[in-house]
Amino acid sequence: MRTVVPVVERIVETPSTVTLRFDEASRARPGQFVMVWVPGDDELPMSLSYVGARKGVTVKAMGATSRGILEISVGAPIGIRGPYGTAFDVGARRILLVGGGSGTAVLAPAAEAAMARGSRVTAALGATTATEMLFEGRLRTAGATVELATDDGTAGERGYVTGVVERLLRSDRYDVVWTCGPEVMMQKVAAAADLAGVPVVFSVERHMKCAVGMCDACTLGPYHVCVDGPVFPADRIAALPEFAHRKRDPSGRLVPT
Amino acid sequence: MAAVEVELAGIRLRNPFLLASGIWGESGESLKGAYAAGAAGAVTKSIGAEPRAGYPNPTVESYGTWGMLNAMGLPNPGIGEYPREIGIARDAGVPLIGSVFAGDAEGFAEVARQMAETGVQALELNLSCPHAKGLGSEVGSDPAEVERVVRAVVGAVQIPVFAKITPNTADPVALGLAAERGGAAAVTAINTVRALAIDARLRRAVLAHGLGGLSGPAIKPVGLAVVWQLYEKLRIPVIGVGGISTADDAIEYALAGARAVQVGTAVAFDGVRVFGNLSRQLPARLDALGFPSWAFAVGAAHPPREPSSRSPRGGP
């Protein structure tokens, strides 16, 4: 069922990223997504960046992202369907979280829920530049140890976050790695964690239409990301020939990612 | 236990349950998954000559357990790309029915010819999508045009041709008879029922396209009525579809006259495992209702006919 609610807060997180908060009572678990409809514009799948009664989604300006959702103002009505899909198991004790760019949006509520239950979280966050770093303060406030990497070296290590991840996996022990970001990054994270013998969980993104496992728009190998995901054990996904290489466009054609 | 195998236009099916067109069916892996879950076969997404993105979102509105409204707009990768997907399912042994659409008889014949070359066992002509301009039911609402399209396709391919007709017309039987005259091997009924969702708070239609098609349990009585009427008048088999989510729903369709059935929206409610549930439950339900086989239930709710008014249907 769809609900229509006003946007109650609009927070500019980085020059390219905006969080929209809204009050919606459904029970959601970290990792799940909702379909966010901006009337007259578009309806998009968005992982929840806040999962309580005041929910939130964090939107990045990218090629396919409509201006409508980025520029929506406080008070404007949006339609919400969901929550849908799979969630993170927040019962793990020692968690390494790896966020690339806006991928951190879905990891932050999972980290908060895990820390509230007494888990220890280390977050490795990557961004193009310091001003694009997402939820660093939020994760520190919740009690996470945070390590950064930027492409231009303006925050943390210069280079990809995968370098930080390899170092962390060598120096400490983790029960699980959660990662969301560019698929090439997630694949490298999975390879590094595999060497260290640590299981990995991905949150993945595909073009979606129905969001209820019917229309076949979001297929990834044998899976439908809307119902079998978006949170997957990496060992089910990382070796699929499509992963990190191809995705389906709105017509269902496989096109390079 | 009651036998549930079905013979449909020369195709042997292990049970009466086919994946309906438009559900899954865009990718070969999904067609394969429906068969692995227990479906007897799968109808592909409707494929056209060119890739088509479909309508923008929202494309779906859900009504809890009783129905679903959609206006996808016939998204498909185009017949040029589609053999790759068909190949994945065909190599896994899935009985496949290739669904195609076009704007006129010549277009249908050409895309049907290409679909037949992929190795599907039969074709289903989408003459009934309720919300695509110049396509679907806009072609399929006129009996003369239905007959022209079916005849053109039958002349272009060597495999059985099924015509999927629309309920959004005063006289669906006229469409079924036209398909039969054109040489169709079976008629599939029904497609979704034209419908609209309005949001009062926003004062606007919910789906980006406005009008859509209703599916799910809400339309079962509509589908049963059309199947019933078709069975009364047609010699070729009827494939029933519309709101089937339990074995008893399927038996009701058989009693109305359906030789086989298709399942779509129930996949959204129960997942693809619905096919396993249906195929497991069906023999026991037929036993409980006193039918020695599925075939004995087909048409059994109709009053006995005058011997002269019935022609052979190739078995019960």
Closest partner residue to A250 (CB to CB) among B24, B53, B58 is B53
Yes or no, beta carbons of B199 and A215 under 8 Å apart: no
Joined together, the tokens standing for residue A70 give 């980025």
Range of the domain at A16: 2-84
Pair (A186, A244) in one structural domain: yes
B120 to chain A nearest CA, in Å? 19
- Start-to-end CA distance of chain B, whole Å, equals 18
| CA-based radius of gyration for chain A | 17
Pair (A103, A9) in one structural domain: no
Predicted confidence (pLDDT) at residue A65 exceeds the cutoff of 80: no
B26 DSSP 8-state letter: S
A249 to chain B nearest CA, in Å? 8
Domain contains A222: yes
Q: For a pLDDT cut of 90, what percent of chain A falls above it?
A: 93
Joined together, the tokens standing for residue A7 give 């946007």
Q: Which residue has the tokens 């065909």?
A: B90
Query: Sign of torsion, CA B291 B295 B297 B300?
Result: negative
Question: Contact A25/A53 with Cβ under 8 angstroms?
Answer: yes
Predicted confidence (pLDDT) at residue B315 exceeds the cutoff of 70: no
Range of the domain at B103: 6-309
Q: pLDDT band at A64, cuts 50/70/90?
A: low
CATH number of the domain where residue A22 is located: 2.40.30.10
Pair (A98, A144) in one structural domain: yes
Q: Which residues of A touch B202 (CB under 8 A)?
A: 4, 39, 77, 79
3-state secondary structure B32-53: HHHHHHCCCEEECCCECCCCEC
Domain count for chain B, please give it.
1
Before A72, cis peptide (omega within 30)?
A: no
Domain contains A89: no
Q: Which residue has the tokens 């059935």?
A: B261
Pair (A38, A109) in one structural domain: no
Pair (A183, A123) in one structural domain: yes
CA distance linking residue B97 with residue B102, whole number of Å: 17
Q: Which residue of A has its CA nearest to B25?
A: A216
Q: pLDDT band at B307, cuts 50/70/90?
A: low
CA distance linking residue B76 with residue B49, whole number of Å: 9
Give the DSSP H or E segment for A227: helix A225-228
Yes or no, beta carbons of A252 and B76 under 8 Å apart: yes
A53, A84, A115 - which closes a domain: A84
Q: Which residues of A touch B61 (CB under 8 A)?
A: 2
Q: Write down the catalytic residue from B6, B37, B129, B222.
A: B129
Pair (A17, A117) in one structural domain: no
Yes or no, beta carbons of A35 and B57 under 8 Å apart: yes
pLDDT tens column, B94-140? 999 999 999 999 999 999 999 999 999 999 999 987 777 788 778 88
Give the residue among A138, A136, A133, A93 at the shortest CA–CA distance from A112. A138
Domain contains B251: yes
Pair (A26, A139) in one structural domain: no
Q: Map residue B21 onto helix, strand or coil.
A: coil
A35, A58, A84 - which closes a domain: A84
Q: Which residues of A touch B69 (CB under 8 A)?
A: none
List residues of A whose CB lies inside 8 A of any B CB: 1-2, 4, 35, 37, 39-40, 42-44, 77, 79, 81, 209-217, 219, 221-222, 224, 227, 248-254
Question: Contact A190/A238 with Cβ under 8 angstroms?
Answer: yes
Q: Any CB–CB contact under 8 A between B23 and chain A?
A: yes
pTM: 0.93
Yes or no, beta carbons of B59 and A212 under 8 Å apart: no
A84, A110, A141 - which closes a domain: A84
Pair (A145, A47) in one structural domain: no
Q: For a pLDDT cut of 90, what percent of chain B falls above it?
A: 87
Yes or no, beta carbons of A210 and B23 under 8 Å apart: no
Average pLDDT, chain B: 94
Please provide the size of chain B in residues: 316
Question: Contact B190/B223 with Cβ under 8 angstroms?
Answer: yes
Give the residue among B148, B142, B140 at the shortest CA–CA distance from B101. B140
Predicted confidence (pLDDT) at residue B313 exceeds the cutoff of 80: no
Pair (A217, A99) in one structural domain: yes
Question: Contact A30/A73 with Cβ under 8 angstroms?
Answer: no
Predicted confidence (pLDDT) at residue A125 exceeds the cutoff of 70: yes
Yes or no, beta carbons of A77 and B201 under 8 Å apart: yes
Pair (A219, A243) in one structural domain: yes
Pair (A137, A186) in one structural domain: yes
Q: Any CB–CB contact under 8 A between B76 and chain A?
A: yes
B63 is catalytic: no
Give the DSSP H or E segment for B285: helix B274-289
Domain count for chain A, please give it.
2
pLDDT at B314: 44
pLDDT tens column, B130-139? 777 788 778 8
Pair (A172, A213) in one structural domain: yes
Q: Which residue of B has its CA nearest to A45?
A: B57
Q: Any CB–CB contact under 8 A between B170 and chain A?
A: no
pLDDT at B128: 87
